Amino acid sequence: MTNKLETTALGGVPTGLYIGGSWRAAESERLLPVEDPSTGNVLVEIADASPADGMAALDAAVEAQESWGVTPPRERGEILRRAFETIMERIDELALVLTLEMGKPLGESRGEIAYAAEFVRWYGEEAVRINGRYTVSPNGSGRILTMKEPVGPCLFITPWNFPLAMGTRKIGPAIAAGCTMVVKPAKQTPLSMLLFAAILEECGLPPGVCNVVTTSNSGAVMEPLIRDGRARKLSFTGSTPVGRKLAEQAAGGLLRTSMELGGNAPFVVFADADLDAAVEGAMIAKMRNMGESCVAANRFLVETPVAAEFAGRLAERMAALVVGRGTEEGVDVGPIIDSPSREFIHGLVQDARSRGASVLTGGDVPEGPGWFYPPTVLCEIHPEARIVDEEVFGPVAPVLTFDGLDEAVAMANDTPFGLGAYVYTRDLARALSATERLEVGMVGLNRGLVSNPAAPFGGVKQSGLGREGGPEGLEEYLTTKYVAIEV
Ligand code: SIN
């Protein structure tokens, strides 16, 4: 049940589609119920867009592109700066809405809001630093001038696990670069994005630059926009199978794509590691966002001499976490996003158990309402257990053992995914060798957190294409025009 504070926060969330600078009901007047994963109760009903609404949003983005693309960079940056300040002023309200729709504890929600805001600030600062170059051609007979231009209208499909931060990681650089956009948030967690659209409006973003369509039918609404030919870029954060399908749709019109997809991050602990630091890092790499992150540690690979101690200490820390409704005081772990996701997680645990894994803590689905799952540590994992190959996306830590650097690297790379990895060792040469040999886009070296708005987030292999964050994340929204000058 929602209390007065929660009802007030929900009352401040717009419930319409944001298209061309105005809020409107869905053309069909259909409504999309948004549920609280900790109770299963409906929090609020919002507009459920149809394909016609999606097309209206693309029309608005296309219409706004020309003037937005030539809006002075300082103006674009100032809008982002004001939006950063507004988000931070309203952090409590935004965090509460985020917790209600997604389930994570309030402290984590505040962390996500600050993370989301930092993308807005960082790219606001970058807007005025977009530039090209001027070079004398090698034979001296001409000049080479390059200029950066916005790629054009973009389509963004954002996930439920970081409902605001994964949006601002796309919206921030797109605004800074001078692109317009249609944003389609996840149907489970659209509320934070609607609030953000209202903040952008309040901070002076011109009509049509950022359009938000909420829908229960992402495929039907987004596929026509991807195939339409007027959008020039698609950025998606989500699963690898969906990313592959979207990339196929985008291929027809040769849209530029950024795909931030699934992971299977190894967390490698060598015998010489500082075990206190490794356990601390493991808690962050596994339990940040309750394990519902593509960069969460998925497999703990621990060198045999320290494996039992590491697993025991990790299990002790995991068992001490308090599971409950994210709005309650003292809660560390909220619910899983929905029932199918919890079933999937539990299926992986049962499969590992059926192949001989022992459970050091957790492993059972609790009774009662909400989609809660206990922090779980498994060891003695069969190499063919599904949990070794599949992304858990939840609070479950399987501990496997290895002997020596070569085996660690072989096990770590034995996956089609290549997003993140974590390495704990005190030996610099071993750290560098492991880092160079790991087939991933990001490595946490003696550190359980890689995410940073100023750094390029992204993967290799089946984990995706492109980078988000940092200067690389801005380049994704810019195209280079080259001018050959006769002298
Ligand atoms: C993700 O889970 O998609 C990204 C998480 C992050 O930015 O840390």
Residues in the chain: 487
Q: Tell me how far apart the alpha carbons of residues 382 and 356 are, in angstroms, rounded to a whole number.
A: 7
| Separation of CA 294 and ligand 1 centre (Å) | 6
Q: Tell me how far apart the alpha carbons of residues 405 and 268 are, in angstroms, rounded to a whole number.
A: 10
Residue 218, pLDDT score: 97
| Residue tagged 């257990």 (tokens) | 385
Question: Domain 265-452: what homologous superfamily?
Answer: Aldehyde Dehydrogenase; Chain A, domain 2 (3.40.309.10)
Residue 44, pLDDT score: 97
> Cβ(162) to ligand 1 under 6 A?
yes
Q: Max alpha carbon distance in the chain (Å)? A: 78
> Which residue out of 295, 422, 442, 468 has the highest number of ligand 1 atoms within 8 Å of its CB and is therefore the one to mutate?
295
> Cβ(109) to ligand 1 under 6 A?
no
Q: Tell me how far apart the alpha carbons of residues 423 and 435 are, in angstroms, rounded to a whole number.
A: 8
Tell me the pLDDT tens digit for each residue of 299-323. 999 999 999 999 999 999 999 999 9
> Which residue out of 115, 160, 162, 239 has the highest number of ligand 1 atoms within 8 Å of its CB and is therefore the one to mutate?
162
Q: Tell me how far apart the alpha carbons of residues 249 and 243 are, in angstroms, rounded to a whole number.
A: 10
3-state DSSP of the chain: CCCHHHHHHHHCCCCCEEECCEEECCCCCCEEEEECCCCCCEEEEEECCCHHHHHHHHHHHHHHHHHHHCCCHHHHHHHHHHHHHHHHHCHHHHHHHHHHHHCCCHHHHHHHHHHHHHHHHHHHHHHHHCCCEEEECCCCCEEEEEEEEECCCEEEECCCCCCCHHHHHHHHHHHHHCCCEEEECCCCCCHHHHHHHHHHHHCCCCCCCEEECCCCCHHHHHHHHHHHCCCCEEEEECCHHHHHHHHHHHHHCCCEEEEECCCCEEEEECCCCCHHHHHHHHHHHHHHHHHCCCCCEEEEEEEHHHHHHHHHHHHHHHHCCCECCCCCCCCCECCCCCHHHHHHHHHHHHHHHHCCCEEEECCCCCCCCCCCCCCEEEECCCCCCHHHHCCCCCCEEEEEEECCHHHHHHHHHCCCEECEEEEECCCHHHHHHHHHHCCCCEEEECCCCCCCCCCCECCEECCEECCECHHHHHHCCEEEEEEEEEC
Name residues whose C-beta falls within 8 Å of residue 298's C-beta, 6 or more positions apart in sequence. 263, 264, 265, 266, 391, 392
Q: Using an 8 Å Cβ cutoff, are 249 and 225 in contact?
A: no
Q: Using an 8 Å Cβ cutoff, are 168 and 120 in contact?
A: yes
Matching CATH topology for 4-261+463-484 and 265-452? no
| Separation of CA 295 and ligand 1 centre (Å) | 6
Which two tokens mark 101?
A: 């729709």
Task: Report CA-CA distances (Å) from 266 to 23, 289, 388.
Answer: 44, 17, 10
Residue 1, pLDDT score: 55
Residue 4, pLDDT score: 87
Q: Give pLDDT tens digits along the chain (487 positions).
A: 568 888 999 999 999 999 999 999 999 999 999 999 999 999 999 999 999 999 999 999 999 999 999 999 999 999 999 999 999 999 999 999 999 999 999 999 999 999 999 999 999 999 999 999 999 999 999 999 999 999 999 999 999 999 999 999 999 999 999 999 999 999 999 999 999 999 999 999 999 999 999 999 999 999 999 999 999 999 999 999 999 999 999 999 999 999 999 999 999 999 999 999 999 999 999 999 999 999 999 999 999 999 999 999 999 999 999 999 999 999 999 999 999 999 999 999 999 999 999 999 999 999 999 999 999 999 999 999 999 999 999 999 999 999 999 999 999 999 999 999 999 999 999 999 999 999 999 999 999 999 999 999 999 999 999 999 999 999 999 999 999 999 9
Which two tokens mark 108?
A: 């984590």
> Cβ(156) to ligand 1 under 6 A?
no
Active site residues: 260, 294
In ligand 1, which atom is closest to the CA atom of 457?
7
> Cβ(402) to ligand 1 under 6 A?
no
| Separation of CA 117 and ligand 1 centre (Å) | 15
> Cβ(295) to ligand 1 under 6 A?
yes
| Residue tagged 């479950």 (tokens) | 396
Q: Tell me how far apart the alpha carbons of residues 33 and 164 are, in angstroms, rounded to a whole number.
A: 19
Which two tokens mark 42?
A: 């409906």
> Cβ(161) to ligand 1 under 6 A?
yes
Protein residue whose Cα sits closest to atom 2 of ligand 1: 293
Q: Tell me how far apart the alpha carbons of residues 159 and 189 are, in angstroms, rounded to a whole number.
A: 8
Protein residue whose Cα sits closest to atom 6 of ligand 1: 451
In ligand 1, which atom is closest to the CA atom of 449?
8
Domain positions in the chain: 4-261+463-484, 265-452
| Separation of CA 169 and ligand 1 centre (Å) | 10
With b for 16 or more beta-carbon neighbours within 10 A and e for fewer, the 413-438 pattern comes to bebebbbbbbbbbeeeebbebbeeeb
- For 42, phi and psi rounded to 5 degrees? -75, 130
> Cβ(457) to ligand 1 under 6 A?
yes
| Separation of CA 121 and ligand 1 centre (Å) | 18
> Cβ(451) to ligand 1 under 6 A?
yes
| Separation of CA 293 and ligand 1 centre (Å) | 5
CATH topology classification for 4-261+463-484: Aldehyde Dehydrogenase; Chain A, domain 1 (3.40.605)
Termini Cα distance of the chain: 73
Q: Using an 8 Å Cβ cutoff, are 226 and 247 in contact?
A: no
